[in-house]
Amino acid sequence: MLVVMDAGHSPQQLKEVVKRIEKMGFKAHVIPGANSTAVGVTGNAQPLEPSLFENLPGVKQAIPVSKPYKLSSRDFKHGDTVIKLKNGLEIGTDRLIVMAGPCAVENEEQTIRIARAVKKAGAHILRGGAFKPRTSPYAFQGLGVEGLKILAAARRETGLPVVTEAIDEASLEAVYEYADIIQIGARNMQNFSLLKEAGKLDKPVLLKRGMSATLDELLMSAEYILAEGNKQLMLCERGIRTFSNHTRNTLDLNAVPVIQKLSHLPIIVDPSHATGLRDKVVPLSRAAAAVGAHGLIIEVHDRPHEALCDGPQSLPPDQLKALLAQLKAMGKVLGFKL
């Protein structure tokens, strides 16, 4: 922490700052300057909150030097986190994991049909929404537990592990029972109660970045889960909200190498929600693989004109197959497997 004093601070105010730092058990280093004076704080094991100093008289700003997250940081754990599913599949290695399936579970026939198609196309994991967080209360809200049972049936049929979203504590319990990976959606990234509950479970969690979350905030939300004991955590970039209006969101691929430098957690990319447009999903999937993502999560529907939600962004299975063939060839050049 660096505490910067106001230009017109009094010597007494500076003394008070130093006293406060020392009272906390830390060391204060006064750095006098031509235009401004600053005080460095050292000796703190945990990051400090700027507000501890910013409300002192004569203080202009407190600049944190270390990051506020700990368990999600590479400083805490140097090797990469690798998540192992029950069927042996690992996430966080040099294998590019592909999660694919319909936006929403609509019925058993549709889900099993699409599950078979994505398996045939080469996907590793089945995605599908049973609990759907929808902007409008009048839109289709998902089949709920019925949908989870259908996903479990699709897993029995295809052997594909299942990732699906929990939206509150009740659905979390149900998702925990039926799914292989619990998804926490973008709108719940700062639903701290839900994060804490997910942190107490012993199943992998996929945490999506909020629409306007900084990466520091994403890692702080990860921290909520890790701090409760659940270390099987992966993150997901799914587009952020900007002024740019030609796609639904702006896919922030910068986030992938930044997260990989800061954190040991795997990072997945969702090009379907980031673009909202089918014909943009393929090029952005290639870009996500090229930038080094650990996996992709892609909406697939074989009859997009009939889809109950997100039809316009769903890829048909044959396009998924062609994409995965292309990614496989890219992987040979770039050093990843499919």
Helix, strand, coil abundance in the chain, percent, nearest 5: 40, 20, 40
User: Within the chain, what is the greatest distance between any pair of CA atoms?
Assistant: 76
CB of 60 to its own copies, least distance (A): 9
Which of 81, 110, 164, 191 forms a contact with its own copies (CB under 8 A)?
Answer: 191
Residues 60-99: x where in contact with its own copies by CB under 8 A, - otherwise, as a string: ---x-xx-xx-----x------------------------
Residue 330 touches its own copies, criterion: CB under 8 A: yes
Phi, psi of 156 (to 5 degrees): -60, -40
Token pair in block for residue 19: 């006293």
- Nearer residue to its own copies within complex by CB, 203 or 286: 286
Alpha helices, DSSP H, located in the chain: 11-23, 51-54, 108-121, 145-158, 169-178, 192-199, 215-227, 255-262, 271-275, 278-291, 317-334
Which of 179, 207, 265, 274 forms a contact with its own copies (CB under 8 A)?
Answer: 274
- Cβ contacts of 93 within 8 Å, gap of 6 or more: 80, 82, 294
CB of 153 to its own copies, least distance (A): 26
Compute the C-alpha angle 220/222/223, nearest 5°. 60
Which of 98, 115, 167, 300 forms a contact with its own copies (CB under 8 A)?
Answer: 167
Q: Please report the sign of the dihedral spanned by the C-alpha atoms of residue 57, residue 60, residue 65, residue 68.
A: positive
- Span interacting with its own copies, options 53-61, 85-93, 117-125, 154-162, rule CB under 8 A: 53-61
Residues 230-269: x where in contact with its own copies by CB under 8 A, - otherwise, as a string: ----------xxxxxxxx--xxxxxxxxx--x--------
CB of 99 to its own copies, least distance (A): 19
Residue 223 touches its own copies, criterion: CB under 8 A: yes
Which of 95, 113, 149, 286 forms a contact with its own copies (CB under 8 A)?
Answer: 286
- Cβ contacts of 156 within 8 Å, gap of 6 or more: none
Residue 12 touches its own copies, criterion: CB under 8 A: no
Q: Please report the sign of the dihedral spanned by the C-alpha atoms of residue 122, residue 128, residue 134, residue 139.
A: positive
Residue 18 touches its own copies, criterion: CB under 8 A: no
**Stretch 92-151 residues interacting with its own copies (CB under 8 A):** 133-139
